[in-house]
Structure 1
Amino acid sequence: MTPEVFAEWFRRQGHRVLRTASSYWAEAGPRTFQAFPYHWLIVPTQTELDHLLREHSAIGLRYSTPWEGASGAASYHVVFMEREYPLSILPQKTRPDVRRTLQRGAVEQISFPRLARDGWKLRADTLKRQGREGAESREWWERLCMSAEGLPGFEAWAVVVEGQLTAALIAFLYEDCCNVLYQQSRTEYLSLGVNNALTYVFTREVLSRQNPPWIFYGLHSLDAPPTVDEFKFHMRYTAKPVRQRVVFHPWLRPLMNPLSHALLKAGLRLKPEQPALSKAEGMLRFYFQERLPLERQSLPPPLQPK
C-alpha cells in the first residue's frame, strides 16, 4: 500500500498531514511533525526544512537519515531483514513460551472494531508497565483503531486465549516494508509468553506472503524505556544504525540550550506522568546529541560494542 493511505489514517484521527519533496509529515504533537513512512531515510535540504517550519508555524521536526549522513544523532531502527523465521532462531528458553501459548490459544487476525472495543485493557496494562500510565486515553485508543477500519494495508492481529484478547498489534503493510505500529498485552498473561507468540506468528505470516517485505518494528524512541526494544532484540530482530534529526524553528533555536533542557528534566521529575514533557525532553536530548561529531556521541545501547 502507499504512503497516501497511511496519511489518510492520520487525517481520520484529526492530525495535520503535510507533503514536501522528501517525505510526508504528520503532526505528532502540537505543531511538532514526524516524517513518515517511518522506515524512510531522507536527506531534505535546509531550505525544505525551513520552509516547512515557517510556512506551517511548526515548532519542530523529527526524521531519520542515513548513518553516513553529515548530521544527526546516533540512533537505530528495529528491523528484520531475513527471509525465514524458524522457531529455532529464537533463544532456547523462549521456544517453550511460544509453544505453550499456541497450545492454550491462537494467534489470529481480528477486526479493528473488536480491537477498539476489547484492546484498551491491553494498552492500559502496557502503559502501566512502561511507567507511562495516563499518557493515553480510551477515547484516543478507540479513535486510533477505528481510523484504520476499511483502509487497505492495515491489519490487527491478536493472541486469543479462551475468547479473551491477551496481546495484540497493529501493522501497516507498504509495498516494500511492513511497519509494526503498536503492540500491547495483558500483564496477567505475560508469563504465558503471549508477546513472544504474537511476534513469532505475525513475523512468519508476513514472510510467507508473495514478495514478502522486510519488517520495521520501531524507531528508537524519544522516551520509552529500553526494555521495549530489548524484547524485540530477544526475538532476533536487529538494530539498523541510522541517525535521527530534530530541527527546531529558527526563532526557537536560541532558546534550545542546557538551561532549558535542565528545566525540562526538572519538570519531568516533578510530573513523570506527563507525556508532553517526556517527548519534549527527548527531542531536546536528541537535538543536543546531534550537535556533536558522531565519534563523540553516546551510542544507544543496541549499537554499543558487545
Structure 2
Amino acid sequence: MTSDIFAEWLKRQGHLVFKTKSSYWYSQAARTFQAFPYHRVIEPDNNEINEFLKEHNGVALRYSTPLSAKYGKISYHVLFTQSTYSIEGLPKKARHDVRNGFKKAGVEPISFERLAVEGWELRLDTLIRQGRVRAETQSAWVKQCRSAQDLPGFETWGALVEGKLVAALIAFSGDDCCSILYQQSATDYLRFGINNVLTLAFTNEVLKRSDVSQIFYGLHSLDAPDSVDEYKFRMRYTASPVRQRVVFNPRLSPLFNPLTYSALNAVHKLLPGNPTFAKAEGMLRFSLQGKKPLAEQDWPLGLLEQKESILKQY
C-alpha cells in the first residue's frame, strides 16, 4: 500500500507512526499527531480519537474532515483537479512570470542526494521569507531528503539556472493523488519566476500520468502566512473547502480554553519567531474555532469568495 511507503519515510525521519480504523497518524512535536495521507478527508468517531490519544499518551491530534461534520475549523486543501494546464489559463502577472522564468531556467528531475546537499540554502531562504526561520533545521532537512531516495512514489524536481539549483520541490504519488510536500526557492532568483516555472512544468508532467486524478499542494497551515497559498491560487490551484479538526486529550482538555488561548497568543506575539509557540497557538486556535458554528468562525482569505455559497449549504 502506498500509505505504508509514506509511513516508512516518516519512520526513517524518527517519527512514530500508528494506524487506526480511519487513518494513519504520525507524531509531531510535543506528542501531537497528524493524520495522513494529507489529502484524505476522514470522520473518526470520538471513541477512536480518545482511545488513540489515551493509548499513545498523545496531547492532541489533527485531521481533515467534511464540511458536514459537526466540529472543525473552516479550512481548505489546495488542489488541482483539471485535466489541462497551460500558460494561457493563468492570470496576467503569472503568465509574465512563467514566460520570464522559462527564458532563464530549465526544469528537470534531480536526485534526493543533490537536494539534501544543495537544497537547504533554498529551504532556509523560503523559511526566512515566511517568518519561520527556526521552524526547521538543516539536519532534519538532510534526513528528510535522504529518507526518500530509495522509496517508490517519491520524486524531486528542480529549476536550474546555468546548472545552479535555484528552486526545488519534493512530491509523493499514491492513491490517485500526487502531493507536493515541500517547495523552496532562492530569494535572489524569485524575480525570474523560478517558482512559477517549476509549478507549471511539474503540474504538466503529472497530468500526463493516467494513475493521478488530482494534485494536492498543501493543507491550510496552522502558522504560515496567507501569502504562502496566495501564490498557489495565482497559479490556478484552488481552495477545496474542508474542516480541520484539532482534538485535545480529554484528560488535558480543561486546560485548553479561551483564557489559555489569550495567554498563549500574547506570548506568541512577543516571540513571533518561536516555532513551538506558533504551532501551539495554531492548534489551540483551530480547536476553539472548530467548536463554533461555521458562520461564527474566522474564515481564511482563500475561502472568502466561497463563504456565502458554503453557508447556504451548511
Residue number in structure 1 paired with 2:140: 140
Count of residue correspondences: 306
The answer to which structure has the higher helix fraction is 2
Partner of 1:147: helix, strand, or coil? helix
Q: C-alpha deviations, 1:211-239, integer Å up to 9, x for none?
A: 33300100010000000000000000000
Contact in 2 for aligned 1:175/1:213 (Cα 8 Å): no
C-alpha RMSD of matched pairs (Å): 1.1
Residue in structure 2 matched with residue 227 of structure 1 by the alignment? 227
Partner of residue 38, structure 1 = 38
User: For residues 157-216 of structure 1, what are the alpha-carbon distances to aligned partners after superposition, in whole Å with 9 as ceiling and x for unaligned?
Assistant: 110111111111100001310111001100000000000000000000000122333001
* Aligned-partner Cα distance in 2 for 1:214–1:93: 25
Structure 1 equivalent of residue 242 of structure 2 = 242
Would the aligned equivalents of 2:105 and 2:194 in 1 still touch at CA under 8 Å?
Answer: no
Structure 2, unaligned stretches of length 5 or more? Answer: 307-314
* Identical amino acids, percent of aligned pairs: 55
Instruction: Give 1:270 shift.
Output: 2.2
Shift of residue 49 of structure 1?
0.3
The alignment's TM-score, normalised by the length of structure 1, stands at 0.98
Matches within 5 A, 1:58-97: 58-97=58-97
Contact 2:116 2:142 in 1 (8 A): yes
Q: Which amino acid aligns with 2:263?
A: L
- Partners of 1:155 and 1:88 lie apart in 2 by 27
Matched, 1:55 2:55: yes
Does structure 2 conserve the Cα–Cα contact (< 8 Å) formed by 1:206 and 1:213? Answer: no
Q: Name the structure 2 match of 1:256.
A: 256
Q: How does 1:5-24 map to 2 (within 5 A)?
A: 5-24=5-24
Counterpart for residue 213 of structure 2? 213
Query: Alignment partner of 1:171: what SS?
Result: strand
**In 2: Cα distance, 1:11 partner to 1:211 partner:** 26
The 4+ residue runs of structure 1 with deviation greater than 6 A are none
For 2:309, the equivalent position in structure 1 comes to none
Equivalents in 2 of 1:101, 1:165: separation in Å?
Answer: 14
Distance 2:102 2:208 in 1: 19
Offset, 1:112:
0.3
Q: 1:105-116 counterparts in 2 under 5 A? A: 105-116=105-116
- Partner of 2:61, secondary structure, is strand
* Structure 2 counterpart of 1:126: 126
Post-superposition shift, 1:263?
Answer: 1.7
Distance 2:70 2:108 in 1: 44
SS in 2 for 1:94: helix
Q: Separation in 2 of the partners of 1:84 and 1:212?
A: 13
One-letter code of the match for 2:14? G
